[in-house]
Amino acid sequence: MTIVLSDGDETEHTLNYQAYGGAVYGDVRATVQLFLASQEFAVDYTQNVYDTRKEAALTADVVVTKTDNTEVTFSGILVDYIWGALAPTGKDVFNGYRKRTWFTQFPFSFGVYADTSSSTLLIRNDTTGTTIPLTNYGMYAVTHAAMNPLANTIKIYDYAGTLQQATFDMTFDFTFLLAQNVAQTLLGDIDVDGCSEGVYLRWINRHGFYDYYLFKQGTEQGKTGTDMTFDRNDLLQWSLGYGYQRGAGRRAAYTRENTLALCAPLVDADTWAWLQDVATSPVVDMFVGANRDDDKWVSVTAQTGTLSDTHKPLQDFTLTIALANTPLQRL
């Protein structure tokens, strides 16, 4: 069996599989990732809504060769792959309702997925409503440009009920169960917080959307090490006046890693649950701009460890991040 995946432009990948026991088994995920490899992890916060392109709309052509060497072809199978993952519980809802916090001194966005080319969102700041059209398929970020920082409540609705929610279940033939929204389906409740002190992180969650949170800063620690030793200039005469001894060697290169402890104090159970994604996200950024219009970020990494959920109504969420490597001199 041969599968040809194409994005409709110039990129095309071919996969070949052999039958085993009268059936063909294959995993196309690694190949699909090639279509997403050139993605930029950025959001234009000056636009009300921004297509983050965290998905790949692919066409699959499948050719099956039977035992008598005749071929059966299935052409033009359309599949929209999303850079995300669903937990197979039936409770992990993709594109469903979420409650988030916008710390108004920093950039912010709320993610939605449009599976049609004519969807409309309604952004309601208190009693004032603004409609935003989604004119194509894709993963969208509704940015803070469409939100009022002075509002007491911000709500995001699927205005016409054209979007779909999805769950991952092990039920045969209903593995990815889609549920159509109705008009005025509430997608998001946005709490407004004017706090400006702390460390603001942005990351891509398991569903492929951007999430944000302002953490309280803890202790920063630095760890140094060496990754190279050698005998300096062993073929020439040593300068004893500078303290070199032949054959003694010396350290010639160091590394330095700074880590920073962070805490989200006394968050509720729902917030604690979705904050776990920052600890496992492959893309985590720390805000270093002067204000929410100064779109500057640096990449950081969440350190591995144990996350202990006490299942109390309110509890602290803590993690440690490794800051960007510090450039050092080398001999």
Chain segment 105-131, per-residue pLDDT in tens: 999 999 999 887 778 898 989 888 889
What pLDDT was estimated at residue 244?
54
Q: Are residues 30 and 123 in the same domain?
A: yes
Domain boundary among 163, 193, 223: 193
Q: Are residues 189 and 238 in the same domain?
A: no
Tokens of 222: 């630095």
> How far, in Å, CA of 115 to CA of 94, rounded?
12
Residue type, 177: L
Q: Are residues 137 and 159 in the same domain?
A: yes
316-320, long-range: CB within 8 Å, 24+ apart, which pairs? Answer: 316/263, 316/264, 316/265, 316/266, 316/267, 317/263, 317/264, 317/267, 317/271, 317/272, 317/275, 318/218, 318/261, 318/262, 318/263, 318/264, 319/261, 319/262, 319/278, 319/279, 320/259, 320/260, 320/261, 320/262
> How far, in Å, CA of 83 to CA of 112, rounded?
13
What pLDDT was estimated at residue 237?
58
Domain range spanning residue 205? 199-322
Domain for residue 216, yes or no?
yes
Q: Are residues 52 and 100 in the same domain?
A: yes
Q: Are residues 208 and 305 in the same domain?
A: yes
Q: How many CB atoms lie within 10 A of CB 111?
A: 24
What pLDDT was estimated at residue 172?
54
Low-confidence spans in the chain with pLDDT less than 50: none
Number of domains in the chain: 2
What pLDDT was estimated at residue 88?
78
Q: Are residues 119 and 207 in the same domain?
A: no
What pLDDT was estimated at residue 300?
93
> How far, in Å, CA of 278 to CA of 92, rounded?
17
Tokens of 309: 């959920």
